[in-house]
Amino acid sequence: MGLSWQQGPLAPGAIGRFLLPEALPKRLLYAEPLRRRMRVRFGGSWIADSEDVFVLFEPGRYPVAYFPETDVAPDTLERTELTTQHRDLGPTSWYTVRAGEQSAKRGAWQHVELPAYASELQGRVAFAWPAMDAFYEEDERILGHAADSYHRIDIRQTSRSLVVRHGERIIAETKRPLVLYESGFAPRWYIARADVDESALTPVEHQTFCPYKGLCSYYDIGDARWAVWSYREAYPEVGRISGMVSFEPDLVCLHLDGTQLHLEPGQSVISHGADRDLTAAEGAPPRAQP
């Protein structure tokens, strides 16, 4: 998302281009200081605590946080025999992370022979997000992946006509949809449940998690599986879409002001797995912590 994911400027499917006389390399990596205190919890302990974190944006990947070795608790990292080759950053050593009675094999990594142009990552370690218990900025848990400071969501009210059909049946019809603009994605249209024939929607157990919007539930419409989704308790920053529903234009027929909408190239959502052992309660909107 943001810079490097979906259709952001550093992503493989970017919809814009840099206006330069010569073509840029196909892969551009970008690193910058996070400028926020970040902590990692594992095995009942804080194993990393730093105000000097760097975030790496790599094409087609979520942002990754890199901690100075000096800000990692002693005896936390045990180097393994595994070494892999990063296509841009060279040899990568992998670590088992240990704290208390808990261990995570390949729970962290470090680029050990960095090229000169990537010196910002020298002496830094990244932790495998799903393998850790939790990541925090100050005292608030950050879910999913390191926050992308270039990720933005805007929600706008509109009076445009939106009609949703499946076969000959009208599933929803409204002149008061909300349109959600999110970095790297085409606009998504949300409809109040009062304007939806909910008898056509069959709830399914499938759920995904968005670090910016929260826990997402899905519905089938007949043979159109997962054609509808809803953030029943969206995060406060996007609370306007809480409980509303949105429809996949490749699975059902959406007409906006009489024009049929289609799923744009590169817009298939690659769902992000939630953090390890994340419960529905933890995926709910964050509340103030004591």
Residue 278 pLDDT grade (very low, low, confident, very high; cuts 50, 70, 90):
very low
Q: What is the mean pLDDT of residues 140-159?
A: 92
Q: Please identify which residue in the block is written with the tokens 């841009």.
A: 88
CB-count exposure of residue 257 (10 Å: 0-12, 13-18, 19+)? exposed
Contact 14, 24 (CB under 8 A): no
Is CATH 3.30.70.100 correct for 30-142? no
Residues 280 and 276: their CA atoms lie apart, in Å, by 12
Q: What is the mean pLDDT of residues 96-115?
A: 96
Q: What confidence tens digit (pLDDT) does each residue in 191-215 have?
A: 999 999 999 999 999 888 888 999 9
pLDDT (average), residues 55-82: 95
**pTM (2 decimals)?**
0.83
Q: What is the pLDDT of residue 265?
A: 66
Nearest to 95 by CA among 146, 132, 59, 122: 132
Residue 211 Cα distances to 22, 23, 76, 106, angstroms: 36, 33, 27, 24
* Rg, C-alpha atoms of the chain: 21
Looking at residue 285, what is its pLDDT? 55
Residue 33 has pLDDT above 80, yes or no: yes
- Residue with token string 């004591």: 290
Between CA 174 and CA 104 the distance in angstroms is: 50
Q: What is the pLDDT of residue 287?
A: 52
Nearest to 219 by CA among 233, 238, 199: 199
How far apart (Å, rounded) are the C-alpha atoms in residues 102 and 78? 13
What value does the mean pLDDT of the chain take?
Answer: 90
Amino acid at position 189, single letter: W
Q: Provide the token pair at 262.
A: 């289609």
What is the fold of 153-260?
2.170.150
How confident is residue 280, by pLDDT bands cut at 50, 70 and 90? very low
Q: What is the three-state SS of 19-57?
A: CCCCCCCCCCCEEEECCCCEEEEECCEEEEEECCCEEEE
pLDDT of residue 15: 84
3-class state of residue 236 by DSSP: helix
Q: Which strands sit side by side in the sheet containing 162-166, from one edge to the other?
A: 169-174, 162-166, 253-256, 259-260
pLDDT, position 147? 85
Tell me the two tokens of residue 229.
């989704």
Please answer whether residues 145 and 129 qualify as being in contact, where contact means their C-beta atoms are separated by less than 8 angstroms: yes
For 265-277, the pLDDT digits (tens) are 656 655 544 444 4
In this predicted structure, what is the pLDDT of residue 206? Answer: 87
For residue 71 the two structure tokens come to: 């800000």
Q: Provide the pLDDT confidence category of residue 40 given band limits of 50, 70 and 90.
A: very high
Q: How far apart are CA 119 and CA 84, in angstroms?
A: 19
* From-to residues of CATH 2.170.150.40 in the chain: 30-142, 153-260
CA 233 – CA 244 distance, rounded (Å): 10
Q: From CA 75, how far away is CA 98, in angstroms rounded?
A: 8
- Is 163 a residue whose pLDDT tops 50? yes
